[in-house]
Structure 1
């Protein structure tokens, strides 16, 4: 076990925010906690989707019935079951049914290529898929046994329904796949205990029986873990956005009609709402947002409109179960300072480490995360797991830590501040460059709504910075943006190309799709935009 050297000043800096222990059902499972909530609130509404309402009693019963059908299909404790269901009450029923069998669910999107789905199934040993289009899935994936899910189905009681008498807290609840640096997706296995640590005794938002959480994220995106279980394991209501394309007018209607109290929005979606229709979020009590670095301009607009404390910046990699830190925005941010990612959430500890040394206030290092929210590791990838997860001695405390690859520092107020990625740093003409530094200055441009800065390999042997900019008005030109940056940054930090775009493309998880931007640029010279400036 490696040791991390700790100075007195570094110890004080970390002790100030690492006392996060809160009581939660650490030895329970998701089904066990849900059954208690269902017994307490049997006739209260658990799930809303349009005109459909599902009570806790009905959701418990329907998921029992589906669990029995899964058991008859051979699903047992420790198995992995693919779930390919559109956002609907059937989706929630399917997830609960899998968990009640003692199995883990593997979210699958029907739009994914067949080769990818076969790869994920092969990595996890998955042989059964639950779907609301079972016949179609059976045709596409003949190697998987397709089981239909219908939330309103009732069947006679089945003694095989009960499944395991007790599901261990350290059993795997679900597997989410993230992109891998070698081109092969990595399956992140998340335990029941990790989910309960996320949603029970929360300090980053209020989660109780009055909570009504919007479920908007694709289920394959780990934000769905918070949206679904944050509501149902606290006796609240999960309000589902229909499984169609997001429209702000429809979003506003749902937030008002269903009295939604809590939403999570990716940074890109949050920025778009702030630019186009900030009134959409007026009815919501808690606005959680994160996934990428935030701009002070958009956050400042939000704080001014919604008031102090309603917007919470959250941060966390999939490997730490959705969220690891939080920062409520209580005052207008300074243009000069980045938005902090804050302090650890409950039952989570974080460390800023440079090499084998714990960093003091103001020192930049890699952000390491500890606590029961950590994943078991990557399915079938022991070397990748060992590279990212390891045991350390930190000031006499034995910790299993996840190395995030994110750089951070502790500011003078005791908040963690994101400072880029270890693998984002690039060399251009011999200079070390952080694209985030350029993006920070573009965020402050009064005529720019959104921006992304990427490093790209252009001509052979020539790496360059490329900026993609969404202008706020006709006064913004690529030339004016270049002049703006040239007046503030050394020449090697001014992007070689500046593309003006009508919008930034989003991935299925709501984040800016950088690959799509670069691929469009490579194919057409301009990513669907109306102006591009190239510096010789």
Structure 2
């Protein structure tokens, strides 16, 4: 039976106008080494540019040759101690050259890296490492993690890694898994998104959205647990460029400008919130860059307009993409704004990526809103240990006589007549804050686990352009907001803990019987500054 025969009954129909527009925007195929692994592609970069700077952070720098030798040494050490190809390894290091050594070493062993944050609660850490069948952890804080993760073999990684000229003789293909990113899940359990070597290569080789070449210098700013780090690290190292590691966990705007200037950074990715803060407080920080990529949340037209006036056309690029499609799926170069429209397209597909806007079984014509579905070499094989959710979100369809595997993003969008895609929001309770994907249901799930909580509602508050999580809780009189925040901190990463928790006698309902989130926000004073929370991602601050 042919692939198309197996897809009988799952054909997408549509008008000729809809098919013609989708054909035009999906002409994205380009040649690239799709069967090569990340270590093989890195080895090619190291052979071409052995003395070029691969990684730099403040006064420390590794050439390609030295980074190659260090990662060879760590990989051989892992294999000698019993690590087997195909296994997973947790990676928990501060942003440093050793972090890059560790990532490369895991891949050179034929392994799969699982980045995590030491600040995550023990229960969450143990759960996600068990989901990934992760029995090894590479870290720069071995004693702390050995106490917390007794079931894992903890391997310290520091500046004393032994160098080795020859790489392990482990064959890895483009179809093998490279890493797993865990994202928020609506059922209370984080979702492990598996990503292949091929998907990383598709993201960073022959890029349409930014110039990535041997003289490119990419700023590595995102936490390694955030999929933007995939672009920042491998976008440099697989093209022979330089990965410039920001020297601190917390982003200080004046320091950001100095790092960019001192290291002649050419490409920067900023979440929308951080981009807005830079434009407000320190726009000069980006003056020396060649390309500024921004995205991850709903845009602010005034901030984009101010940036366009300062930097001019050709330097700002709006990007969009879920973790399941490997960081970026679409891009839009911002050369001008559509007057009085409030629209900022998320653009057209990047290389070797296809997108479809569908309404059930129908392709949407220009101007008609539907669900954004993605296809191509960036797609994840699915969620670890969640076959039902994988089958729900990753589907096979026949489109224009061709079989496609689609990822149903849950995002909605509209194609303009020129083929640009405009984001139109979501129907479910998933939001993005500071670039992190958050399922409001996951936060509510853990609130409701508290024995004194009878009902809760979690939503998003927007004040002065800043978005934050807010929770409303009906609970026993003995409960305080502080005790609920402590409860959540023992279960969730800091970015999932609401900035405010309001205790209520009841939750008002709309005429349709749903919790009236707008009424709750209007009834409570949201101008009181929220209590401080531990930083879970780079946060802009003044010096």
**TM range, smaller chain:** 0.7 to 0.9
Aligned partner of residue 516 in structure 2, secondary structure: strand
Aligned partner of residue 500 in structure 1, secondary structure: coil
Shift of residue 229, structure 1, vs aligned partner: 0.1
Give distance in 1, aligned partners of 2:392 and 2:268: 34
Which residue matches 1:194?
199
CA RMSD of the aligned region, Å?
2.6
CA distances 1:140-178 after superposition (whole Å, capped 9, x unpaired)? 2111101111345325678xx5141x2011100000001
Shift of residue 295, structure 1, vs aligned partner: 1.3
2:189 aligned with 1:162: no
The question of whether the paired residues in 1 share the 8 Å contact of 2:207 and 2:351 is answered with yes
Which residue matches 2:516?
464
Which residue matches 2:497?
none
The question of whether the paired residues in 1 share the 8 Å contact of 2:221 and 2:538 is answered with no
Give distance in 2, aligned partners of 1:3 and 1:495: 46
Shift of residue 332, structure 1, vs aligned partner: 3.4
Aligned partner of residue 390 in structure 2, secondary structure: helix
Which residue matches 1:126?
134
TM, length-normalised to structure 2: 0.81
Q: 1:109 aligns with which of 98, 110, 117?
A: 117
Which residue matches 2:27?
19
Shift of residue 499, structure 1, vs aligned partner: 2.9
TM, length-normalised to structure 1: 0.82
2:255 aligned with 1:269: no
Which residue matches 1:243?
248
Which residue matches 1:317?
322
2:421 aligned with 1:416: yes
CA distances 1:264-321 after superposition (whole Å, capped 9, x unpaired)? 0001111111111111111111100100110111111111111102110000000000
1:13-412 alignment, distance < 5 Å:
13-154=21-162, 162-164=168-170, 166-412=171-417
The question of whether the paired residues in 2 share the 8 Å contact of 1:262 and 1:287 is answered with yes
The question of whether the paired residues in 2 share the 8 Å contact of 1:176 and 1:187 is answered with yes
Give distance in 2, aligned partners of 1:282 and 1:467: 43
Give distance in 1, aligned partners of 2:525 and 2:234: 42
CA distances 1:450-502 after superposition (whole Å, capped 9, x unpaired)? 4579897873342334499xxxxxxxxxxxxxxxxxxxxxxxxx956573366
Shift of residue 425, structure 1, vs aligned partner: 10
Shift of residue 422, structure 1, vs aligned partner: 2.1
The question of whether the paired residues in 1 share the 8 Å contact of 2:72 and 2:163 is answered with no
CA distances 1:5-62 after superposition (whole Å, capped 9, x unpaired)? 1220110121221100111110100000000100110011000011001000000000
Q: How many residues align?
A: 468
- Judged with a 3 Å threshold, the aligned counterparts in structure 2 of structure 1 residues 511 and 361 are, in CA distance, closer, same or farther, namely farther
Give distance in 2, aligned partners of 1:348 and 1:499: 42
Shift of residue 343, structure 1, vs aligned partner: 0.3
- Judged with a 3 Å threshold, the aligned counterparts in structure 2 of structure 1 residues 373 and 157 are, in CA distance, closer, same or farther, namely closer
- Judged with a 3 Å threshold, the aligned counterparts in structure 2 of structure 1 residues 284 and 467 are, in CA distance, closer, same or farther, namely farther
Give distance in 2, aligned partners of 1:21 and 1:505: 45
- Judged with a 3 Å threshold, the aligned counterparts in structure 2 of structure 1 residues 456 and 424 are, in CA distance, closer, same or farther, namely farther
1:474-493 alignment, distance < 5 Å:
none
Aligned partner of residue 308 in structure 1, secondary structure: coil
Shift of residue 333, structure 1, vs aligned partner: 4.3
Give distance in 2, aligned partners of 1:422 and 1:262: 33
- Judged with a 3 Å threshold, the aligned counterparts in structure 2 of structure 1 residues 330 and 227 are, in CA distance, closer, same or farther, namely same
Give distance in 2, aligned partners of 1:364 and 1:511: 34
Shift of residue 510, structure 1, vs aligned partner: 5.5
Give distance in 2, aligned partners of 1:145 and 1:377: 27
The question of whether the paired residues in 2 share the 8 Å contact of 1:325 and 1:345 is answered with yes
* Structure 1 residues without counterparts, runs of 5 or longer: 427-434, 443-447, 469-493, 513-536
- Judged with a 3 Å threshold, the aligned counterparts in structure 2 of structure 1 residues 397 and 510 are, in CA distance, closer, same or farther, namely farther
The question of whether the paired residues in 1 share the 8 Å contact of 2:270 and 2:295 is answered with yes
The question of whether the paired residues in 2 share the 8 Å contact of 1:300 and 1:333 is answered with no
- Judged with a 3 Å threshold, the aligned counterparts in structure 2 of structure 1 residues 217 and 348 are, in CA distance, closer, same or farther, namely same
The question of whether the paired residues in 2 share the 8 Å contact of 1:288 and 1:312 is answered with yes
Shift of residue 413, structure 1, vs aligned partner: 2.8
Shift of residue 217, structure 1, vs aligned partner: 0.3
The question of whether the paired residues in 1 share the 8 Å contact of 2:292 and 2:317 is answered with yes
CA distances 1:111-141 after superposition (whole Å, capped 9, x unpaired)? 1111111111110111010011222221221
Which residue matches 1:472?
none
136-145 or 53-62, which moves further after superposition?
136-145
Shift of residue 387, structure 1, vs aligned partner: 0.7
Give distance in 2, aligned partners of 1:351 and 1:255: 37
The question of whether the paired residues in 1 share the 8 Å contact of 2:396 and 2:405 is answered with yes
The question of whether the paired residues in 1 share the 8 Å contact of 2:251 and 2:539 is answered with no
Aligned partner of residue 204 in structure 1, secondary structure: coil
